[in-house]
Amino acid sequence: MNNPSPTAWIDAETFTPLATADVVIVPVPYEATTTYRKGCQHGPGAILAAADQLEYYDVELGQEVCFQLGIAIHAAIADSQVQPDLTPEAMVREVERALQPLLAAGKFVITLGGEHGITAGVVAAYQAQFSEPFTVVQIDAHGDLRHCYEGSIYNHACVMRRLVDRGIPTLPVAIRSICQEEADLIAQNQIPVVWDHERGSDWIEAAIAQISTEQVFITIDLDGFDPALIPGVGTPQPGGLSWQVGTQFLKQLFCRKTVIGCDVMELAPLTDSVVSEFMAAKLVYKLIGYQALATGKLI
């Protein structure tokens, strides 16, 4: 049995060893190109600290998810505090290199950011490992489809463009802030955007029907959720997913598609509120629970 620590489902010191873990959490506390409120380099640490306060028992799944599979915490990579001069381009390569052996070993990896630009390296590692095509489902307030922003093609505002340029199918969800260049690209490439203002009662069904591949990678920019729920993001936007609807969508994705991995990005903790990191930690636990449900690991 790969039981986690009895005192915390997500404790870096007493956790399941990497070799026997089913799920590996990879913290990437990297921040260089964020443009408004800074602080996402502190996101992974805040999520892990908040996770320590969660109940093991998932009320929706009706069991202690963390005892049904082994969860390991990887050492932080591309840490801005350790490597303050690491360029975004070098970071993307470092993330890709670090994830590859984990994916080759069959681990289910959840990457924690850090700025959304990290996803370019994350997805490159999945491309190297998985020969079958996959769709990147993006929960985000912003399109992130600019070719270049503030002089860098690795800016967090460009991350989805990097994936589109590589021919990866994408499904952006809860989008409510783009520029003209992005609107033109969406029209030209016929990217099936689930606009936040157009989400009706049956949007989850319609969204999943737009996914043409069996395999899916999920990238979550936390600003895709309602900023009333997660105010601790760098560039908040009104609107977005509620907790119930967001988790329902994720559950459907896990149960109806083959989710090959996830990342949770852009948490920039506030100094006077722990709501954002607590919600992010619970979201990570839901991702683990849904993966366990979809792969038959729950009792």
| Cβ proximity to Mn ion, 58 vs 196, nearer residue | 196
Which residue number is nearest to Mn ion in terms of Cβ? 221
Question: Alpha helices, DSSP H only, in 141-211?
Answer: 159-165, 180-189, 203-209
Q: Which residue is associated with the tokens 């997500």?
A: 10
For the CB of residue 42, give the shortest distance to Mn ion in the complex, in Å. 17
Q: Which stretch binds Mn ion (CB under 5 A): 29-37, 64-72, 217-225, 273-281?
A: 217-225
Closer CB to Mn ion, 107 or 146, in the complex: 146
Burial 10-34 (b: 16+ CB within 10 A, else e): bbbeebbebeebbbbbbbbbbbbbb
Find the part of the chain contacting Mn ion (CB under 5 A) among 96-104, 147-155, 191-199, 221-229. Answer: 221-229
* Binding flag, residue 94, Mn ion (CB under 5 A): no
- CB closer to Mn ion, 129 vs 239: 239
Assign 246 to helix, strand or coil: helix
At its nearest, how many Å lie between Mn ion and the CB of residue 154? 13
- For Mn ion, the binding residue among 96, 144, 182, 226 (CB under 5 A) is 144
- Count residues binding Mn ion (CB under 5 A): 4
Output the smallest distance, CB 213 to Mn ion, in A: 21
Contact between 116 and Mn ion (CB under 5 A)? Answer: yes
| Residue from 22, 79, 182, 221 binding Mn ion (CB under 5 A) | 221
CB of 224 to Mn ion, least distance (A): 8
Q: Which residue lies nearer to Mn ion by CB, 79 or 221? A: 221
Please give the backbone phi and psi of residue 33, each rounded to the nearest 5 degrees, phi first: -115, 10
* 72 in Cβ contact with 97 (< 8 Å): no
Q: Looking at this protein, which amino acid is placed at residue 107?
A: K
Stretch (H or E) spanning 94: helix 88-104
Tell me how far, at minimum, the Cβ of 295 lies from Mn ion, in Å.
28
* Touching Mn ion, residues 155-194 (CB under 5 A): none
Only segment of 44-52, 62-70, 83-91, 112-120 that touches Mn ion (CB under 5 A)? 112-120
Residue type, 259: V
The residues pairing with 195 across neighbouring beta strands, listed in sequence order, are: 175
Of 104 and 183, CB closest to Mn ion: 183
- From the CB of 142, what's the least distance to Mn ion, in Å? 5
> Residue 72 forms beta bridges with which residues?
24
Residues 6 or more apart in contact with residue 120 via CB below 8 angstroms? 92, 154, 159, 162, 163
Task: Kindly state the smallest distance separating residue 124's Cβ from Mn ion, in Å.
Answer: 17
Q: Which two tokens stand for residue 173?
A: 């969800």
Identify whether the C-beta of residue 113 lies closer than 8 Å to the C-beta of residue 41. Answer: no
Give the residue with the Cβ less far from Mn ion, 4 or 246.
246
Beta bridge partners of 63: 58
Residue 140 lies near Mn ion (rule: CB under 5 A): yes
Q: Which of 81, 80, 98 is nearest to 33 (CA)?
A: 80
CB of 140 to Mn ion, least distance (A): 4
- Tokens in use for 140? 């985000």
**How many helices (H) and strands (E) are present in the chain, helices listed first?**
8, 10
Q: Which stretch binds Mn ion (CB under 5 A): 21-29, 36-44, 68-76, 218-226?
A: 218-226
What are the residues binding Mn ion (CB under 5 A)? 116, 140, 144, 221
